[in-house]
Amino acid sequence: MNQALQFPALQALYPEILLVVGAMALLMLGVFRGDRSTGAVNGFAVLLLVAAGILVCLQDGTASAFHGSFVSDPFARFLKVVALIGSAVTIVLATEFLSAPHRQRYEFAILIMLATAGMMVLISATDLIALYLGLELMSLSLYVIAALDRDSLRSTEAGLKYFVLGALSSGMLLYGSSLVYGFTGTVEFAGIAKAAQNGGLGLTFGLVFLFAGLCFKVSAVPFHMWTPDVYEGAPTPVTAFFASAPKVAAMSVFVRASMTAFPGIAEQWQQIIVFVSIASMVLGGFAGIGQTNIKRLMAYSSIGNMGYALIGLAAGSPDGVQSVLIYVSLYVAMTLGMFACIIAMRRADGPVEKIADLAGLARTKPAMAFFLAMLLFSLAGVPPLAGFFGKFYVFLAAMKAGLYTLAILGVLASVVAAYYYLAIVKIMYFDEPATPFEPMRGELKTVLAVSGLFVLLFFVYPAPLVEAAAAAAKSLF
């Protein structure tokens, strides 16, 4: 029997196998019981995601499958846990949305599980074919859930825009992969690294197209154009998912491909990353200022935050990779808390999305206003909140690598972005109260409280996350 298919080799794939088999089983449950099974499917999906996370944590060392195309190492395990947390919390956040009779969709949780399985393959991919398979499994699920609310014109439009632009980016990534294969003669990252020592114009073109496809997935400039429209049009729980777990997977493959497949031409790809990082931070900072819809604001915030994370990748060092992992983890925690608040922005006549609707929230819902303010301060990078440490680590890594200009521009862009975060705090605490929101559901309170306390108290004991990120980063070198 082929060694790659032997049972012991598949141990590296146990979490992914659990998710795929579980998704198929839940699909059968949904097919036979219909939309009334939505609650049960959601509950089982969360349990399966938690079980997959436990399996990931129980893995040790470095294991591979399929002739090294798929690897389970500390880097992959760290990011898989973050992605699984983002996916599980998303299903929890969607409970209220899916409880309405006309919006019961048992397919939602199943698609989240399949997308997560794709993310986990993407995170562990060590060749271009596995990378593309993971990316497409993730992307195809995302296209569908973007248009989940079939009765909403905005949701349908968001799904169509995401699909068309996503297909374009996948084509660019595939074309870049074919060029890289053509000029190196291999699809394995290790083989590409050996063949790419001397560089070459054709390989550089392949690298550019490959990075273009990955930039689309992380919403980095100049491939960010889909983000504001899809974030605004998709159902809010779906937007929460787009803003968290898929970003983790896309950033992980960005880092792994850069560090392990193209270390010999680091100077060339560093120039690309520096440009993309600066452009993302600047656009995310300035374009967010004039936004009135909070979901569009979060889209530009996401673009800017991916720019900050790419600063660590531009450093091209173990410290840089560690800073990316820390930043992405903290970003997911902050984002999930933010979307718990956005989902809770609901009045008797339905949900609202205008930033002006938060006026006077400190007087009508002081606890929600406090935690939301802490999350906004953290996104702005105000010490001693968690977001400050995320930016501190990426700027420190850039300075250690001699990228002083990039670090300075990052600080300046952060100051610009702080304007629209602090403007929301001003609206909540100093404007006259608007019509109060309906009571916040229990699951939203839990997510907001956990996220808010994590951001607020991270400085007390940051060692576990920092040390885990350091061990994950070292495994790539």
Dump the DSSP string for 185-228.
S--BHHHHHHHTTT--HHHHHHHHHHHHHHHHHTT-TTS-TTHH
Q: Across the strands, what pairs with 402?
A: none
Q: Residue 65 belongs to what H/E stretch? A: strand 63-65
Tell me the H-state helices in 34-73. Answer: 38-58
Secondary structure class of 293 (helix, strand, coil): strand
Other residues' Cβ atoms within 10 Å of the Cβ of residue 2: 8
Please state, in angstroms and rounded to a whole number, the distance separating the CA atoms of residues 137 and 70.
Answer: 15
Report whether the peptide linkage leading into residue 222 is cis, meaning its omega lies within 30 degrees of zero. Answer: yes
Helices marked H in 5-127: 14-33, 38-58, 74-93, 95-99, 107-124
First and final C-alpha spacing in the chain: 32
Q: Look at residue 8 in the predicted model and tell me its pLDDT.
A: 54
List C-alpha distances in Å: 41 to 98, 195, 364: 11, 48, 35
The number of helices, as runs of H, and strands, as runs of E, in the chain is 21, 4
Q: Answer yes or no: is pLDDT of 5 > 50.
A: no
The domain locations on the chain are 3-474
Q: Which of 61-65, 267-271, 352-356, 419-423 has the highest mean pLDDT?
A: 419-423
Interior/surface letters 28-62, b for 16+ CB within 10 angstroms, e for the rest: ebbeeeeeebbeebbebbbebbeebbebbeebeee
Residues 161 and 226: their CA atoms lie apart, in Å, by 7
pLDDT at 56: 92
Q: How high is the pLDDT of residue 28?
A: 92
Encoded tokens for 370: 């406090």
What does the alpha-carbon distance between residue 172 and residue 149 come to, in Å, rounded to a whole number? 29
Helix locations, 196-317, DSSP H:
201-217, 227-233, 236-242, 245-256, 266-287, 294-315
Please choose, from the candidates 370, 374, 396, 243, the residue with its C-alpha nearest in 3D space to the C-alpha of residue 311. Answer: 396
> pLDDT at position 204, please?
85
Residue of 104 and 353 predicted with greater confidence: 353
How confident is the model at residue 248, as a pLDDT? 92
- pLDDT tens-digit series, residues 389-403: 999 999 999 999 988
Residues 94-129, buried b or exposed e (16+ Cβ, 10 A)?
bbbbbeeeebbbbbbbbbbbbbbbbbbbbbbbbbbe
The label of the residue with tokens 């049972």 reads 7
Mean pLDDT to the nearest integer, 160-165: 88
Tens-digit pLDDT profile for residues 62-82: 888 888 888 988 999 999 999
Cβ-based neighbours of 81, under 8 Å, separated by 6 or more: 53, 56, 57
pLDDT score recorded for residue 9: 63
Q: How confident is the model at residue 312 (pLDDT cuts 50, 70, 90)?
A: very high
Q: What is the pLDDT of residue 3?
A: 46
Q: How many residues does the chain have?
A: 477
**Pairwise pLDDT comparison (260 vs 199), residue with the higher score:** 260
Predicted local confidence at residue 175, as pLDDT: 93
Two structure tokens written together for 41:
């499917």
Q: State pLDDT tens for residues 96-148.
A: 888 777 777 888 899 999 999 999 999 999 999 999 999 999 999 999 888 88
If DSSP codes are grouped into helix, strand and coil, which group holds residue 240?
helix
Q: What is the DSSP letter of 66?
A: T
When pLDDT is averaged across residues 401-418 and rounded to a whole number, the result is 92
pLDDT for residue 34? 79
Helix, strand, or coil here: 351?
strand
Angle separating helix axes 245-256 and 318-343, nearest 10 degrees: 170
Confidence of residue 2 (pLDDT cuts 50, 70, 90): very low
Distance of CA 120 to the CA centre of its chain: 12
Structure token digits, residue 318: 């173990």
455, pLDDT greater than 70: yes
pLDDT number for residue 376 = 93
Structure tokens at 242: 């787009």
Q: What is the pTM of this model?
A: 0.93
* Structure confidence at residue 416 as a pLDDT band (50, 70, 90): very high
The answer on pLDDT for 6 being more than 60 is: no
Least confident segment among 3-17, 69-83, 360-374:
3-17
**What is the C-alpha to C-alpha distance for residues 362 and 461, in angstroms, rounded to an integer?**
29
Q: What is the pLDDT of residue 406?
A: 92
434-453 tens-digit pLDDT? 788 888 888 899 999 999 99
Averaged pLDDT of the chain: 89
pLDDT level of residue 159 (50, 70, 90 thresholds): confident
pLDDT beyond 80 at 405: yes
